[in-house]
Chain A
Amino acid sequence: METKFKSKIMDSQDLHRALTRISHEILERNKDLKKLAIIGIQRRGVHLANRIRDIIKSIEKVEIPLGVLDITLHRDDLFIMIKQPIVQKTDISFDISGRDIILVDDVLFSGRTVRAALDELVDFGRPATIQLGVLIDRGHRELPIRPDYIGKNVPTSLSEVIKVKLKELDNEDEVILEDII
């Protein structure tokens, strides 16, 4: 799939401010910090989750447990994908039962990734709540799923793609919109 740059949606500072605001919103809604845990969806969601945890730590001086979720084995298009999926690691080393879980991903689109993540999470225990945080909501939902925390709403057409770049993986922080050509 070839794409062409269209516009820049967020730079490094925008991204940091959005994550800081989301962190404050999480703290506002979840009074009992002892129950809180963050789980990032592989791969970019993991790094965003990690940053949110660091921001919460700098505000409240508490360490929130962090988990990593790979949803490949729960996908609804597992063996019909064009490219063979690579199974990444899942690592949730705390009991999720009774906790308020903040599930974090980079882009919310059809909602199918989140559906898979919800299915997978309940195999680990029974959380009190699962809340969804995303950096970009680009619309076009195919399932009844809505985010609780949003970095930015970006109305898109289906001929566009959103690219989230993060320092940890891509050497820079930015979000750009591209056209499929």
Chain B
Amino acid sequence: MNTTWTKKNLLGLEELSAEEINLLLDTADSFKEISTRAIKKVPALRGKTIVNLFFEPSTRTRTSFELAAKRLSADTVNISVTTSSVVKGESLVDTARNLESLKADIIIMRHGISGAPYFLARMIEASVINAGDGSHEHPTQGLLDLYTIKERKGKIKGLKVAIVGDILHSRVARSNIWGLTKLGADVTVVGPPTLIPVEAKRMGVKVCHRLEDVIADIDVMNILRIQRERQQGGLFPSIREYSELYCVTPEKLEKAKKDIMIMHPGPINRGVEISSAVADGPYSVILDQVTNGLAVRMAVLFLIAGTKPGEN
């Protein structure tokens, strides 16, 4: 492990090298143990100020980042848009510059518009971590999925991974695809044609429209949430019809490998994209993903806080 981390920001997995991704995963592996201690805290980021700036709702990601920062002894501030001056019409840059004037070192942002964190990173000195931007990327979710697969399977290279559901609107899918393909996994996206983006093949993945065509062959299935908040375009006839074809149930898993891993980034819509029996069943690693997310975010905060001013 000779790679060093030099990036001021974490905006997406697309721009990371395989070595940088592995450095993040290895560092996360060392951080995982901290959360099992009697006193779950280390002083590494003492004196650093970290702001959670969330323009979209979130439970898991925001809490995970906040706890990650706190376990590293950083000071954290949470800003959710509904209670901030954004509702008075303040622009993104003005909000961020004000946070910077309060000497924030790292701004973690979730935003509904793809590319917003890139824009922010260009405008301010503080580090920016993308916690999900529109339907573009969600790099820490991608990393925690990679970590969970590596932890369970011992490797990523050569594994057959299916990402199932609404690929079109999914930032989780994009970050997973970049990360998995860089580390040598064989990725297939599965979903109705209207929910598969045209650029899927350019990203180096196979496309399949029927779950039953891939089920017997795959090692890992990452099931995406049907994002009701982004479904106004009539891209499939009804939730019920979608579930009929794509909801992962014990019956559909009958032909699957005995050690298949079932993943889901949460929050889950039980009975829509995954049945309760599968979500709570023996193949599911959904709660491991949450535990690992904390370790991964600690590693991200630690490495980013360690970059020197002027690095990029």
Contact = CB atoms under 8 A, between A and B. Distances in A.
B37 A124 contact: yes
For the complex, would chain B's binding face be called helix, strand, loop or mixed by DSSP majority? loop
Contacts of A85: 306
B39 A90 contact: no
A98 B26 CA distance: 33
A79 B33 contact: no
Contact of A91 (B33, B41, B72): B33
A74 B4 CA distance: 20
A86 B1 contact: yes
B78 interface: no
B31 A123 contact: no
Interface in A42-80: 70, 72-74, 78-79
B305 A79 contact: yes
A157 interface: no
Interface residues of A, number: 21
B302 interface: yes
Contact of B33 (A74, A84, A89, A119): A89
A129 interface: no
Given A87-B27, A87-B30, A89-B33, A120 B42 contact: yes
Contacts of B4: 83-84
B308 to A, nearest CB: 8
A125 B302 contact: no
Interface string A111-123: 0000000011011
Pick the 6 closest A-B CB pairs, nearest first.
A123-B39, A73-B42, A73-B44, A87-B30, A84-B4, A89-B30
Given A86-B1, A123-B41, A125-B38, 12 more contacts: A70-B30, A73-B34, A74-B43, A74-B44, A78-B44, A86-B27, A87-B31, A89-B29, A89-B30, A91-B33, A122-B39, A124-B38
Interface of B: 1, 4-5, 27, 29-31, 33-34, 37-39, 41-44, 72, 299, 302, 305-306
